[in-house]
Amino acid sequence: LAKLLEVPNDHLLRKMANIGMDKLANNYLLTNEEAAEIALEYEVVPIIPEDSGPDLLPRPIPEDMSLHPTRPPVVTIMGHVDHGKTTLLDTLRNSTITASEAGGITQHIGAFSVELKDGNHITFLDTPGHAAFSAMRARGANATDIVVLVVAVDDGVMPQTKEAIQHALDADVPIIVAINKCDKPGADPQHIQEELLQYGIQTEGMGGDIQSVEISALKGTGVDELAENIATLAEVLDLRAEVDIPVQATVIESQVERGRGNVASMLIKRGTLNVGDIVVAGTAWCKVRSMTDDHGRPVKSASPATAVRVMGWKEIPLAGDMVLQAETESHAKDVVANRVEKRKNRDKLQTIGAMNEVRRETNERESSERAEEKAHRKAVWEYHHGIRSTMPDPLPRKNASDVSSSTPASEASSISVVPVVIKGDVSGTVEAVAGALKQLPDKKIRINVISTGVGPVTESDVVMAGSGTEGLIIAFNVKADKKTLTAAKREKVEVMSFRVIYKLLEDIEKLLTSRLEPLR
């Protein structure tokens, strides 16, 4: 590496020591990432080959899709809290023909299918609203074809309505407006259409091309029409998928179930998933032992745009992970091992990067202080030798608190970081909570999510959040037993339980602000 960078060996070793790589033994083989980090120190920008080790990648989408069969649209319902999203989902779910016909019990698997009179299907995602949508999108899993924007006629456009519009526009997903609660006396749907105009949503009623339907999710009126509108839009979008290729899917949620082990719901995007297939998602793999549909009925295969719950995962995959089919078990294991290794390297690189940042800041501060002192000494010397007529102003006295309040470099260190552990009932929600926390404004106090997981809060979560740092555990729809709570008290770890995400953000912001007040 020294030869490549055209620097002496010992110079390279000193450089490495500077950036925290002094503990490496002589026969240590640098990873790509470590070598890259060192090269960067010499202002050489390296190119790291992406293709290293066994991995699975999605197949390119064929240019001509017209030969492949059409598939159902995948729809996400978004809108402000209390505008009727859950009610609409329930009404839609109960309207399915298949539900009554086979007598299956509705199962929450993150998505369900509705059959229309003409035999066509629509798939609705029912994972919690926006947060899940953005969490999935952040991970590159754009699972939605159409967004149904629910606006309550008696409330109009509210903050989360605007947010939903923004999400849909950002993701370039077409919107259908459902003006809800039209059963209420004095309902004025026309007014909602006018209001939406201000946010770039021009409905057909206002001369635009966005469909808008007046509904009552509670009474069920207009819901059939909404479904028909979705089907019409889907036809225009001409949604198609290959069915005879290795499967590609998205994990929508995952959990550990008693008696069933690791279970993940997934939405099939392309190809067909069959019992016995071997798939990989992130660093988890699975030989599909069995599958069930949204009514809990066993199925042998699943086609594009349908959701299934899949049993047989060796580990729990994460919501938003892309699922790809491997040829054999050993292929799957190789891919997972390679991904684990790559992740370790990435983590290491990140740590080194963060350490470098701190070191650089410190160096900069120290050298600017030294320069200032030097200039001051020179001025004093010049005064004593009659070169300047006045004595320079004394340098500001440096004691610990002065330094921390006057220089930008150490201001960074006065930001306190709260370690946070997130536990939830399903991995979709955990991901959503973690994603939502990132949206909190960065103040003098910062949240650092150190661990996430599915299941109840345990003592090891307390240990993780604790270690004398006044950490925080967020329990979303899960409990902590007495022993764990006692341990939390002892470790000064706060356990906050939540059922709704909006409340969670509010409360956490409040907590952070309250911790801020006694600023050191």
Q: Please identify, using beta-carbon distances, which residue of 217 and 281 lies nearer to ligand GDP.
A: 217
Cα 279 to Cα 312: distance, rounded to the nearest angstrom: 10
* CB 152, min distance to ligand GDP, A: 7
Shortest Cβ distance from residue 223 to ligand GDP (Å)?
A: 9
Q: What is the 3-state secondary structure (H, E, C) of 279-335?
A: EEECCEEEEEEEEECCCCCEECEECCCCEEEEEEECCCCCCCCEEEEECCHHHHHHH
- What letter represents residue 11's amino acid? H
CB neighbours of residue 189 within 10 Å: 20
The verdict on 507 binding ligand GDP (CB under 6 A) reads: no
Return the number of the residue (82 or 372) whose C-beta is nearest ligand GDP: 82
Inter-residue contact 181 to 91 (CB < 8 Å): no
Question: Least CB distance from residue 153 to ligand GDP, whole Å?
Answer: 9
CA distances (Å), origin 488, targets 131, 468, 483, 515:
28, 11, 9, 18
Do the beta carbons of residue 131 and residue 431 sit within 8 Å?
A: no
Tokens of 276: 């016995």
Site membership for ligand GDP, residue 364 (CB under 6 A): no
Cβ-based nearer residue to ligand GDP, 187 or 430 = 187
Which segment (80-88, 101-109, 138-146, 308-316) binds ligand GDP by CB under 6 A?
80-88
Closest approach of Cβ 178 to ligand GDP, in Å?
A: 10
Q: Which residues pair with 78 in a beta bridge?
A: 149
CB atoms within 10 A of CB 417: 12
For ligand GDP, the closer CB: 134 or 325 = 134
Residue 234's nearest CA partner among 305, 169, 171 is 305
> CB of 253 within 8 A of CB of 294?
no
72 forms part of the interface with ligand GDP (CB under 6 A): no
Shortest distance in whole angstroms from residue 462 CB to ligand GDP: 32
* 130 near ligand GDP (CB under 6 A): no
CB 240 within 8 A of CB 70: yes
Q: Interacting stretch for ligand GDP, rule CB under 6 A, among 21-29, 181-189, 456-464, 487-495?
A: 181-189
Least distance (Å) between residue 455 CB and ligand GDP: 26
Q: Which stretch binds ligand GDP (CB under 6 A): 175-183, 310-318, 378-386, 507-515?
A: 175-183
Closest approach of ligand GDP to the CB of residue 217, in Å = 4
Task: Confirm or reject binding of residue 184 to ligand GDP (CB under 6 A).
Answer: yes
Which 82-101 positions form the footprint of ligand GDP (CB under 6 A)? Answer: 82-87
- Residue 181 binds ligand GDP (CB under 6 A): yes
One character per residue 197-226, x = contact with ligand GDP (rule: CB under 6 A) = -------------------xxx--------
Among 80, 30, 129, 114, CA closest to 352? 30
Residue with tokens 């949503």: 201
According to the binding rule CB under 6 A, does residue 158 interact with ligand GDP? no
Question: Cβ of residue 213: shortest distance to ligand GDP, in angstroms?
Answer: 12
276, 274, 256, 273: which is closest to 264 by C-alpha? 256
Residues 267-326 that bind ligand GDP (CB under 6 A): none
* Contact call for residue 128 and ligand GDP (CB under 6 A): no
Of the pair 222, 471, the CB lying nearest ligand GDP is at: 222
* Whole-number Å distance between alpha carbons of 310 and 298: 10
Q: Are 161 and 79 in contact (CB under 8 A)?
A: yes
Residue with tokens 């939903």: 164
Query: What does the binding site for ligand GDP look like in residue numbers (CB under 6 A)?
Result: 79, 81-87, 180-181, 183-184, 216-218
